[in-house]
Amino acid sequence: MRPGELRQAEWAHINLEAKEWRYLVTKTKTQHIVPLSTQAVEILTSLHPLTGGGRFVFPSARTPNGSRAMSDVALLAALRRMGFTKDEMSVHGFRAMARTILDEVLGFRPDFIEHQLAHAVKDPNGRAYNRTAHLVERAKMMQSWADYLDGLKAGAQVIPFKLVR
């Protein structure tokens, strides 16, 4: 999802039992389904006692009643506190990183990845006639992505990317 969609995630749109998050894509104004990995469900389940009584999964710390979502600056500030400079990573950069790794390292089909990223089909006839969701394949992909990230965290072998200028 895009950073704004993550910040504005609402508990009403998340179904932990079905392992799905359904929301309206801001850029295309279309419904989108995000299959949730086991790890994502665990994180959301542990977060629910803290913010589940309100509208937003990630409410603004400056709004005691949780009526506003966290700001875009909050995500960026978190990256900077972790030591990432503006030349190293942006909040939106996680989408590009996932796109690259899902394709080149984990070997998933580009159309599954593009669908997961909620990119619009470029061909007008494709938009009109393509109603596929590939939910089963995308659920497998998101679980593989979460497992890959867990492997990195645990010290799995990291393959460095070449810097292209």
Which candidate in 27, 92, 109, 127 is catalytic? 92
Catalytic annotation present for 148: no
Which candidate in 119, 134, 140, 148 is catalytic? 119
Looking at residue 13, what DSSP letter applies? Answer: G
Catalytic annotation present for 109: no
Catalytic annotation present for 134: no
Whole-number Å distance between alpha carbons of 135 and 34 = 8
* The two structure tokens encoding residue 58: 């990630």
Residue with tokens 């419904």: 31
Catalytic annotation present for 62: no
Catalytic annotation present for 92: yes
Q: What values do phi and psi take at 59, rounded to 5?
A: -75, 160
Residue 98: Cβ within 10 Å count: 19
Residue with tokens 């006839």: 125
Which candidate in 13, 55, 68, 95 is catalytic? 95
Catalytic annotation present for 95: yes
Largest distance between two CA atoms of the chain: 48
Q: What values do phi and psi take at 107, rounded to 5?
A: 75, 30
Which candidate in 22, 27, 127, 129 is catalytic? 129
- Are 103 and 145 within 8 A, CB to CB? no
Residues taking part in catalysis:
2, 29, 92, 95, 119, 129
